[in-house]
């Protein structure tokens, strides 16, 4: 043993290198607060002796010799695991009678306490590792901020959501992830919560907010925020999820519920809503609104001759021409196989309604190119006027339908008003 060398930790001498001494040495080797000066055992092949030699720790077979070698360390703690009661006497001879020796049940109790603490430490480290693994591998973004709004934690999922690396955001204010005007209001929100304890976001699960990525793109996000206190410090934890795809799916489902799948025109349900809104506006502003019912002439022949795929293409091209013909404030919907219905707002005179019907018929008169062939269709249109013919939306549609049948009976590819329908045919 090197003389006058200052130990790196608290000096310890272990007497007895059997299973207990070996375990004690192994435990001390994991703790930088303790430095084992030497280990003693009369058996040079004892497990503790072999372990000490592998770590470069001095070994002795004679306890008295080891004690004398440690005399320069008066604060040395002697652990006696040798079951030799004479060791205490030897320690007194070397260090003086004030020196106590930890032995027997004392060492066992100490060893058990330290072992339990080590086990608790291992379990705590395991729990922390598991928690970190969960946070690291979570599919949702997890963001932790302190009371001042500075980001303290930012897991990989959050990196993917926002496009920032953890290094880019740690210590920065959370408002960097928010668009205006929320960004400017965020610090004030935290301050008011600290003062009043009243929160609008904390404790709310799945709140929809708008966030902003590193590239400046704004996107819809689902946020669940909560508060926690650690070591007297307040923190806020946010679980975030990019719901862009979900919102797109919801919008698509909503669109499919209100629009025709083939032509992308409003369907009957959406048309009904549009008509009711138009009639309410007409009543409030005291102007006239026209409802037009269109049935294609010659569609069945094209469908039967060229096939359903050509028929579908024809309906799509017809729909586009109809949309191009009416004003942006008007509505056209597909309500049947080759049936379309219009609401023309603030139509004014009957002549204006007739002019709109004529434009539609002219637009349909141009040939359609289908499967390399020129195809011709026409349209028969019925017209009913609010409030002249009726003030009820369903009645107006029925009246326009009746007028459309009159147009077909009149030679097709023309229009008729509901007032032209003979009384015996009107219902």
pLDDT at site 22: 86
pLDDT 10s digits, 375-424 = 999 999 999 999 998 999 999 999 999 999 999 999 999 999 999 888 76
Q: Which fold has domain 259-420?
A: Alpha-Beta Plaits (3.30.70)
pLDDT at site 9: 78
What's the chain's average pLDDT? 87
pLDDT at site 415: 96
pLDDT at site 372: 85
What are the per-10-residue average pLDDT scores of the chain (427 residues)? 63 86 83 85 91 91 87 83 79 74 68 69 72 73 89 91 94 92 82 74 80 95 87 86 92 91 93 94 93 94 90 94 94 94 94 96 93 91 94 94 94 93 68
pLDDT at site 100: 66
Please give the C-alpha separations between residue 307 and each of 9, 300, 301, 347, in angstroms, as whole numbers. Answer: 93, 10, 10, 38
Closest C-alpha among 175, 45, 68, 19 to residue 37 = 68
Q: What CATH number is given for 10-112 in this structure? A: 3.40.50.720
pLDDT at site 101: 75
- At the top level of CATH, which class does the domain 138-244 belong to? alpha beta
- Which regions of 54-206 does DSSP assign to beta strands (E)? 59-60, 77-80, 101-103, 141-146, 151-154
- Which regions of 359-403 does DSSP assign to beta strands (E)? 368-370, 373-375, 378-386
pLDDT at site 203: 66
Q: Which helix (H) or strand (E) holds 294?
A: strand 289-297
Q: Can you give the pTM of this predicted structure?
A: 0.59
Closest C-alpha among 35, 97, 89, 37 to residue 64 = 89
Domain residues of the chain, as ranges?
A: 10-112, 138-244, 259-420
């Amino acid at each position: 043993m090197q003389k006058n060398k200052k130990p790196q930790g608290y000096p310890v001498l272990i007497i007895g290198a059997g299973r207990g001494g070996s375990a004690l040495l192994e435990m001390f080797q994991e703790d930088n607060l303790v430095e084992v000066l030497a280990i003693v055992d009369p058996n040079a092949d004892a497990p503790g002796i072999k372990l000490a030699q592998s770590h470069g720790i001095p070994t002795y077979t004679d306890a008295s010799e080891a004690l004398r070698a440690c005399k320069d360390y008066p604060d040395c703690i002697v652990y006696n695991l040798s079951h030799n009661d004479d060791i205490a006497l030897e320690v007194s001879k070397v260090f003086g009678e004030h020196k106590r020796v930890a032995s027997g049940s004392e060492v066992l109790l100490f060893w058990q306490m330290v072992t339990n603490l080590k086990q608790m430490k291992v379990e705590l480290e395991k729990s922390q590792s598991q928690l970190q693994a969960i946070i690291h591998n979570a599919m949702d973004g997890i963001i932790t901020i302190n009371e001042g709004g500075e980001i303290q934690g930012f897991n990989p999922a959050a990196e993917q959501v926002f496009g920032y690396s953890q290094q880019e955001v740690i210590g920065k204010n959370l408002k960097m992830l928010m668009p205006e005007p929320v960004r400017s209001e965020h610090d004030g929100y935290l301050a008011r919560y600290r003062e009043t304890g009243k929160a609008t976001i904390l404790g709310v699960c799945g709140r929809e907010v708008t966030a902003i990525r590193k590239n400046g793109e704004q996107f819809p996000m689902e946020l669940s925020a909560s508060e926690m206190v650690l070591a007297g410090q307040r923190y806020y934890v946010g679980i975030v999820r990019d719901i862009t795809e979900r919102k797109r799916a919801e919008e698509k489902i909503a669109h499919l519920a209100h629009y025709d799948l083939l032509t992308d025109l409003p369907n009957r349900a959406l048309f009904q809503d549009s008509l009711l809104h138009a009639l309410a506006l007409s009543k409030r502003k005291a102007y006239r609104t026209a409802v037009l019912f269109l049935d294609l002439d010659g569609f069945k022949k094209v469908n039967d001759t060229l096939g359903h795929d050509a028929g579908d293409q024809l309906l799509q091209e017809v729909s586009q021409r109809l949309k191009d013909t009416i004003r942006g404030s008007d509505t056209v919907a597909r309500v049947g196989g080759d049936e379309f219905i219009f609401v023309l707002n603030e139509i004014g005179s009957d002549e204006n309604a007739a002019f709109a019907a004529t434009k539609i018929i002219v637009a349909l008169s141009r040939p359609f190119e289908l499967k390399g062939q020129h195809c011709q269709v026409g349209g028969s249109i019925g017209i009913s006027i609010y409030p002249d013919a009726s003030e009820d939306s369903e009645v107006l549609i029925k009246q326009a339908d009746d007028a459309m049948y009159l147009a077909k009976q009149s030679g097709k590819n023309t229009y008729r008003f509901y007032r032209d329908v003979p009384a015996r045919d009107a219902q």
